Structure 1
Amino acid sequence: MPDVSALIQLGWKPYYQQQLTLEEWESATMGRVISQERGVIHVQTSEGRRSIHISKGMPAFAVGDWVVLDASGKFIRLLERLSLFSRKAAGTKVSTQLIASNIDTVFIVSSMNQDFNLNRIERYLALANEAGVEPVIILTKLDTCEDPDQYIEQINAMDRFLETVAVNSLDSDSVRKLDAWCAEGKTLAFLGSSGVGKSTLINTLLGEHVQHTSSIREDDAKGRHATTSRSIHMLPSGGLLLDTPGMRELQLAGCEQGVDETFREIGELAGQCRFKNCQHENEPGCAVRAAIESGDLDGRRLANYLKLMKEQELNAATLAEKRAKEREFGRYIHAYKKSKSGKK
């Protein structure tokens, strides 16, 4: 029988236990992927850490995954995920990249300086909402910001129900505002562009220097990449913290529900438009345009909504096309092998 208390500290929930057979629960070992390198995943179990070489036939892994191992530490299977963050791979490669799985709360980090960008925050919110994970907006650089209220008010105007916390990442007392999301067994993920202070905040939460930090460029307040790999860290409070690299090329794919939820007021207004296929441009009877003209809806919100919706549709279509080609090639190989075997 596994050490349940140790598993709970790693974020174990009834959701995962329900997926196990009685035999697996009694004889197998459950572990969580806490870091990943090229060709290797590092798994934390109640008995210690194991390194598993990824071989052909294994599924794609994400940091945060729960896996089942046999008594010798050999991989048996991957448990169904409670949540999953993914994105279209950076660059021109047509594929999906797994970012993190089984997250309870995502801290969307933005600095209160020239790099503050509502469009970027909405992009991260769409990812969080698609994954069904609670988002919390963390505004950093409180120690250097003369008027933090102006940034908080912009977030509230965008969505008054969003949890928003302003902190000085260098001050442990200030960071204690985040304790409510750092309880034992709770898994946190960080999303945010480079230079917003994620690594500094992580070091303060952990109470030690774990992540390398980099200074920002003074000319545009943008940061340099400081974190280059994904990994899970244990917090003194008992929570688990998953750090992700800065993602300057974050793109949405198959994320329509997440975008709709992030801009839910636009969807509600669209239902009042005269035409069901209204594009919210120059059509008569457009309730969305009417709301912009009356000042009830910010034009920036609509522009970003349309941009993100088109982006996710394009990327999803591209990925679907790739999968269709892969299936077609697979059928060709199968037919070829069958024809060869028939000639024998």
Structure 2
Amino acid sequence: MGFAPRFAEEFELHATPGSLPARVVRVDAQGCTVLAVPNGGEAVELHVHVPKRLARKRAPAVGDWAIVRTKGKGGERDGDFVVRKLLERATSLTRRAAGSSGRAQVLAANLDRVLVCSSLDRDFKLTRLERWLSLVHEGGAEPVVVLTKAGLVDEATRARRVEAAREVALGVSVIAVDRFTGVGLDALDACVLRAVEEDASSWAPTLALVGSSGVGKSTLLNYLCELAGGEGAMATGSISSAHGKGRHTTSHRELVALPERDGLRALLIDTPGLREVGLWGEGEGVDKTFAEIGALARGCRFGDCQHAGEPGCAVRAAVDEGRLEGRRLEAYRRLVDERETTARRANEHERRRHERRFAKEVRRTIRIKRGRED
């Protein structure tokens, strides 16, 4: 289940008698469903309560590791368990919450590899691909670009779009696949198998499928399940020729175990298609996605050059000389601006939250003081 040594060590540090390590597989309004691991026993699925104080501080996300235990001295029936602590995340996939300018939404946690899916037909957009790569890099997982529905475009279009994706991926693996024609499935299989072999020291690596609605994520999940001799995890319909989408759409994030292969197993998180993929974080996600611009920027005359027409700008010179695509620079500047705007709004959101808490505490203190005077 991905219980790597770092999680085992943290669990031992904070565990109390009766505690169990558990992996969050699904989150709902009433709590979350976890796979708990009794000492030396088989994993058991439980629905556990999440205390409000814990949820306010850090809400659980699919993929999180938690310490759970019984609520009291009662039995160990489903529903009698509560999350006592969430372990520190090794990696995460986080976006700006939809419709919000100052809050984050963790889509999944503790991922080893993220399969960024984009169809080769109407969904293919380099700017969206760059955005997803920035999010994955920011969270610390390894991205892999999977271009789906390769059978719906002619060979020339496929080759052109695959090459364009490779140019923006900067060394990240790019795989073009089609479930129904078989194109690229061996390469996809090798990618997943490589993740399993590389992470054989822990229980299982965790992968995630992300991308817009209708790009074929659930079809890929079913293929990976069937490949190992298991049954498909989700039912999908055949492709509609009118809009190129399967009839199944994932409605929730859920962690599933792929069938064992040669004694090795991987875990996979399938996510709903997202319309908004807002950036979150001030780390190196964007810089890593556009590493060639960072390398060029070292030649700029000014250290704080914005590449917007300043004298001595090496990046603009590269665009003028045809060494850097103008579209690429504009995409970079757009994401940097968004990152900085989001950071400012997040700070403002946190400041207002702190002021509300302080005002609430002041009112509480005044009520207590008045009560004593009476």
Query: What is the CA-CA distance between 1:27 and the residue it aligns to?
Result: 4.5
Structure 1 residues 17-28: aligned runs within 5 Å: 17-21=8-12, 24=15, 27-28=18-19
CA distance in 2, matches of 1:93, 1:160: 30
CA distance in 2, matches of 1:315, 1:230: 25
- State the match for 1:211 in structure 2: 234
3-state SS of 2:93 partner = strand
- State the match for 2:195 in structure 1: 181
1:43 correspondence with 2:47: no
- State the match for 1:339 in structure 2: 366
Identity of aligned residues (%): 37
Aligned residues: 335
- State the match for 1:7 in structure 2: none
Query: What is the CA-CA distance between 1:70 and the residue it aligns to?
Result: 2.1
CA distance in 1, matches of 2:130, 2:14: 45
Specify which of 300, 305, 312 is matched with residue 332 of structure 2: 305
Structure 1 residues 85-234: aligned runs within 5 Å: 85-92=93-100, 94-147=102-155, 148-170=158-180, 171=182, 174=186, 175-178=188-191, 179-182=193-196, 185-207=204-226, 208-213=231-236, 226-234=249-257
Contact preservation (8 Å) 1:32, 1:64: yes
CA distance in 1, matches of 2:22, 2:46: 9
Unaligned runs of 5+ in 1: 1-9
Contact preservation (8 Å) 1:43, 1:52: yes
- State the match for 1:67 in structure 2: 66
Letter in 2 for 1:69: V
Contact preservation (8 Å) 1:165, 1:177: no
CA distance in 2, matches of 1:326, 1:159: 38
Superimposed CA distance per residue, residues 5-61 of structure 1 (whole angstroms, 9 cap, x where no aligned partner):
xxxxx0001111221336728742101001112222001022411101333112301
CA distance in 2, matches of 1:215, 1:292: 44
CA distance in 1, matches of 2:117, 2:44: 32
Contact preservation (8 Å) 2:235, 2:248: no
Runs of 4+ in 1 over 3 A off after TM superposition: 170-175, 212-225
- State the match for 2:49 in structure 1: 53
Distance 1:25 1:338, change over 3 A: closer
Distance 1:39 1:285, change over 3 A: same
Letter in 1 for 2:224: L
Specify which of 273, 279, 282 is matched with residue 306 of structure 2: 279
Letter in 1 for 2:277: L
3-state SS of 1:33 partner = strand
Contact preservation (8 Å) 1:11, 1:187: yes
CA distance in 2, matches of 1:176, 1:141: 16
Pick which of 124-133 and 209-218 moved more: 209-218
Alignment TM-score, normalising by the size of structure 1? 0.89
3-state SS of 2:15 partner = helix
- State the match for 2:89 in structure 1: 81
CA distance in 1, matches of 2:336, 2:240: 32
Distance 1:82 1:250, change over 3 A: same
CA distance in 2, matches of 1:54, 1:280: 47
1:16 correspondence with 2:7: yes
Superimposed CA distance per residue, residues 145-172 of structure 1 (whole angstroms, 9 cap, x where no aligned partner):
3223222211222244111112223449
Contact preservation (8 Å) 2:170, 2:289: no
Query: What is the CA-CA distance between 1:115 and the residue it aligns to?
Result: 1.9
Query: What is the CA-CA distance between 1:93 and the residue it aligns to?
Result: 6.7
CA distance in 2, matches of 1:210, 1:164: 25
RMSD: 2.4
Contact preservation (8 Å) 1:195, 1:214: no
Contact preservation (8 Å) 1:108, 1:191: yes
Query: What is the CA-CA distance between 1:100 and the residue it aligns to?
Result: 0.3
Letter in 2 for 1:56: K
CA distance in 2, matches of 1:275, 1:199: 48
Query: What is the CA-CA distance between 1:91 and the residue it aligns to?
Result: 2.0
